[in-house]
């Protein structure tokens, strides 16, 4: 063998006795076959076999299997982002002439996708009150093929009656997909409540370190998995094993991170409710949060994201107070180790249940910093708002 050939033929090494706790990162485009007959028969390997790196490697399969186990499903399909998890479900099950129902508090890019992509292609959508519960039955006509739920809603935190919605949808032969990003499968398992698709933005709590983008769709029906995989193959959508390796590392500590963030977020939510600058606290664990009774019945535990509705305050006062924060970072994509705060534009995103609160909404994501440092930061923010609000009123 000459050197040039040696350069592209890696030597086989002894792996006996090598046992590591880390999941290896298997990167691949081409998959090679032991003989010509195996190559000719490759299409029979199906989506559980290995045929092309785009369709999966042992690293991506490990993450899929872990999410499947956590959700109690039969298969998980990985996609490049949480947004893709939602849109791929819609594209996989909706045909021209069909209709999907989305909640008024839905992750805003999902509403835009329905309006700007689905609607011009003949797929209609309806928007419903997130707290509609069994009343969803009245909105389901013969063209409605999918009901989307997101519980709690990212931003205003309404907790949906998922079991009641599933029951009504199933009675009419409708599929149900659930965006479960806030709860993670550790707090809520949508498939156990009858949903057909459990979607996660792995970007958030699974990744956990603000450095990866990934989404997942877990199903309990092999036919739905087949549909999703065929769609992804058609679009040529795949994910990087490196991202999966980071997600696999993140998932190991997710339980502790989410438990800690949930405890601190509940504690802060209760304390913040007493602040004169706060109109109301939207945290699923508080009775002041719409749908709190569903949280109590179906979840009982929290993650780290909740919102504050402030009393009306001038824009420049709020901006200055946010800019003065020392520990919280200003940003949207939550679930990492750093605590975040973000003003939310709720009013323009509502079409069914008008948002009547006058003051600004701040979404808070609790991270892993020292609790006292976080509290002092929030306290300084609220004192700045109170002081200015008082001065303006005088
Ligand atoms: C962040 C988020 C998404 C989108 O996830 P990306 O990975 O950022 O695309 C979808 N749904 C919810 C509830 C989210 O919080």
pLDDT tens digit string along 289-342?
999 999 999 999 999 999 999 999 999 999 999 999 999 999 999 999 999 999
- Give per-residue pLDDT as tens, 79-97: 999 999 999 999 999 999 9
Model pLDDT for residues 14-41, shown as the tens digit of each residue: 999 999 999 999 999 999 999 999 999 9
pTM summary value: 0.96
Handedness of CA 148, 126, 229, 56 (dihedral sign): negative
* CA–CA separation, 92 and 87 (whole Å): 8
Q: Which of 185, 189, 177, 118 has the alpha carbon at shortest distance from 150? A: 177
* Pure H helices in the chain: 3-8, 36-40, 58-71, 82-93, 108-113, 162-171, 184-187, 222-235, 241-272, 292-298, 315-323, 371-393
Q: Residue ranges per domain, the chain?
A: 6-249, 254-393
| CATH code of the domain made up of 6-249 | 3.40.640.10
CA-proximal residue: ligand 1, atom 3 (nearest): 82
| Substitution candidate for ligand 1 out of 80, 102, 201, 303 with most atoms within 8 A of CB | 201
Task: Compute the average pLDDT of residues 112-133.
Answer: 98
Helix axes 82-93, 222-235, angle to 10 degrees: 110
Our mutation pick for probing the ligand 1 site, out of 107, 111, 240, counting the most ligand atoms within 8 A of Cβ, is 107
Mean pLDDT along residues 138-159 = 97
pLDDT band with cut points at 50, 70 and 90 for residue 367:
very high
pLDDT of residue 394: 42
How many other C-beta atoms are found inside a 10 Å radius of the C-beta of residue 257?
22
Q: Given this model, what pLDDT does residue 393 score?
A: 45
Asked if residue 154 has its Cβ within 6 Å of ligand 1, the reply is yes
153 lines ligand 1 (CB under 6 A): no
Cβ of 181 closer than 6 Å to ligand 1, yes or no, is yes
Q: What is the pLDDT of residue 103?
A: 98
The pLDDT value given to residue 230: 97
Q: What is the mean pLDDT of residues 225-243?
A: 97
Sheet holding 215-219, edge to edge: 75-79, 215-219, 197-201, 175-179, 144-150, 99-103, 124-128
Give the residue from 214, 186, 176 showing the smallest Cα distance to 89. 176
- Name the CATH topology of 254-393: 3.90.1150
| CB-ligand 1 contact for 340 (6 Å cutoff) | no
Residue 1 has pLDDT above 60, yes or no: yes
Residue 122 has pLDDT above 80, yes or no: yes
Q: How many of the other CB atoms lie within 10 Å of CB of 13?
A: 7
Q: Is it true that 6-249 and 254-393 share their CATH fold?
A: no
pLDDT-derived band at 368, boundaries 50, 70, 90: very high
pLDDT for residue 348? 85
> Quick one: tokens of 7?
């350069």
Atom of ligand 1 nearest to the CA of 332: 1
Q: How far is the CA of 180 from the centre of ligand 1 (A)?
A: 10
Which residue has 């339980």 as its token pair?
255
Give the mutation target among 204, 209, 215, 237 for probing the ligand 1 site: most ligand atoms within 8 A of CB.
204
pLDDT of 386 > 90? The answer is: no
Give pLDDT, residue 57: 97
Residue 391: pLDDT over 60: no
């Amino acid at each position: 063998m000459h050197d040039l050939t040696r350069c592209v033929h890696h030597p086989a090494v002894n792996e006996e006795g090598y046992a590591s706790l880390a999941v290896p990162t298997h990167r691949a485009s081409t998959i090679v076959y032991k003989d010509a007959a195996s190559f000719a028969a490759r299409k029979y390997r199906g989506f559980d076999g290995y045929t092309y790196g785009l369709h999966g490697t042992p690293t991506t399969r490990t993450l899929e299997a872990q999410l499947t186990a956590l959700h109690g499903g039969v298969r998980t399909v990985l996609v490049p982002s949480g947004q893709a998890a939602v849109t791929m479900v819609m594209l996989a099950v909706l045909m021209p002439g069909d209709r999907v129902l989305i909640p008024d508090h839905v992750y805003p890019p999902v509403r835009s996708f329905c309006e700007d992509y689905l609607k011009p292609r003949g797929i209609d959508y309806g928007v419903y009150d997130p707290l509609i519960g069994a009343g969803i039955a009245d909105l389901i006509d013969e063209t409605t093929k999918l009901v989307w739920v997101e519980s709690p809603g990212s931003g205003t935190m309404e907790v949906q009656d998922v079991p009641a919605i599933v029951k009504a949808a199933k009675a009419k032969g409708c599929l149900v997909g659930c965006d479960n990003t806030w709860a993670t499968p550790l707090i809520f398992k949508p498939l156990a409540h009858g949903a057909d698709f459990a979607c996660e933005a792995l970007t958030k709590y699974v990744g956990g370190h603000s450095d990866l983008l990934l989404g997942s769709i877990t199903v309990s029906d092999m036919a739905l998995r087949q549909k999703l995989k065929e769609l992804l193959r058609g679009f040529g959508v795949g994910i990087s094993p490196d991202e999966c390796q980071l997600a696999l590392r993140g998932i190991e500590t997710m339980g502790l991170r989410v438990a800690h963030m949930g405890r601190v977020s509940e504690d802060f939510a209760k304390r913040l409710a007493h602040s004169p600058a706060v109109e109301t606290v939207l945290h699923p664990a508080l009775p002041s949060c719409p749908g709190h009774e569903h949280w109590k019945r179906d979840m009982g535990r929290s993650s780290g994201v909740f919102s504050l509705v402030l009393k009306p305050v001038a824009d420049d006062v709020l901006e200055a107070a946010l800019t003065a924060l020392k520990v919280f970072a200003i940003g949207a994509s939550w679930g990492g180790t750093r605590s975040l705060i973000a003003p939310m534009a709720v009013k323009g995103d509502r079409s069914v249940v008008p948002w009547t609160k006058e003051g600004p909404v701040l979404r808070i994501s609790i991270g892993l910093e020292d609790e006292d440092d976080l509290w002092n930061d929030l306290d300084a923010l609220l004192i700045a708002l109170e002081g200015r609000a008082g001065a303006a009123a005088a």
